[in-house]
Amino acid sequence: MKPRSVASLLAAFAVTLCPSFAQEDATGKADPDSPYDHIKVLARAMQLIRKDYVDERKVSYRALMSAALRGMLQSLDPHSQYMEPENFNNMKEVTDSRFGGLGIHVTERNGDLIVVSPMEDSPAFKAGVMPGDQIVKIDGKSAEKMDLNEASEKLRGAVGTRVTLTILRPATKEIKEFELIREAIKVWSVKDAKILPADPGAPESKIGYVRITQFNAPTSEELAKKLDELEKQGMQALVIDLRFNPGGLIQTAVDTAGMFLPPGTIVCTTEGRAGSQKGEYKANPGLRRRQAYPVAVLINFGSASGSELAAGALKDTNRAIIVGETSFGKGSVQSVVPMPDGSAIRLTTAKYYTPSHNVIHEVGITPTIRATMTPEQERQLMLSRREDLTEEQKKKELAGFRDTQLDRAVDALKGVLVFQSRKPQ
């Protein structure tokens, strides 16, 4: 039996997958965007490259097909990707909030690799990598044309191994180089739960504070325990700090917002081209509802994905005052579709919307009260969260530092408490 050409195999594959293509051809109707015709062009191009390209080592059909798929997915948006079998297997590994690496959440914007946020207590965080930093080199290799998959592979590695990052800091135009050692990272997502100290001479008000660094599997349970403790201390109002929170598990973010909303309240919706992508996330009736104390949520440009869903829901339902800066704007849904050869396609299939049907993707959540920080204040805020610094080091580095965004949130909550105390009962 004579071997069939790649072109004929791909064409037959297209007809097998989508027999309607062949039916349309049979009726004589021209389809200018026919997959059948375009697959023939792709197959012909692959044949020519394999036959005549100067470097024979680069032209296996698998290599050419992988390159074509990578190009297709990259042309759509920064979050759609083709994953080789090894990449797909790495993604499927169960980490239970523990993994090896540098602790950097990276995205792609206008072809650049941008740090969304370093994870607290990670090698990147301790070294001083900042949200908004642009990665220009990894181990001396230019990151100019790297996609997220390639960058992730280069950042990932065995615990104890080294990697050198060269970054451009847009705020100051500085080029910095960091030599980092990969670590096994344990993510504690709920931190610094406390009653904030009252200003001297001011009327006493017990305003609680809790910081969520990202949304992982244990976050809802951790947060519930911390809130129980604060409520036992007589907490009258609460600040939830989502600054530099890059997101995580969407259902956990929904459950976090749902703690403060009536059961069944819509937290967010999804919409895509396919009807199957239309969905609603609602406050879980099984969760314990919190008391109706005033809530303020802190966000900034490093608040992304799940933190934007939570903040958007609490804002749209008038359950919280949002304080800070417009958030990052990452509100799209990626579906991972396994391929027959063990690889997978990660494809953006829908977008998230707030309860008022405001789109999040590439827009972000706008604060109710806008409060900005200078680059130096942001650097000091990150330093204030460093657990590896001594009190002497913090005293030196944080001299004169005030968290102005937190101050604005506290002032807003105090105003709400005063207003509530004057309302007729």
* 316: annotated active-site residue: yes
Q: How many other C-beta atoms are found inside a 10 Å radius of the C-beta of residue 92? A: 11
Q: Which of the following is catalytic: 226, 315, 330, 414?
A: 330
Characterize the bridge pairing of strands 190-195 and 98-101: unpaired
Taking only Cα atoms into account, the Rg of the chain, rounded to an integer number of angstroms, comes to 25
Which neighbouring-strand residues pair with 322? 297
- Helix, strand and coil percent figures for the chain, each rounded to 5: 35, 25, 40
Q: Which of the following is catalytic: 133, 147, 241, 316?
A: 316
Which neighbouring-strand residues pair with 106? 115
* 330: annotated active-site residue: yes
d(CA 237, CA 234): 9
d(CA 245, CA 224): 18
Strand runs labelled E in 188-294: 190-195, 207-212, 237-241, 266-271, 279-282
d(CA 46, CA 123): 43
Q: Which of the following is catalytic: 80, 117, 189, 305?
A: 305
**Start-to-end CA span in the chain (Å):** 90
Helix axes 19-26, 35-52, angle to 10 degrees: 110
Residue count of the chain: 425
* 189: annotated active-site residue: no
Per the structure block, which two tokens stand in for 305? 């994905």
Active-site positions read 305, 316, 330
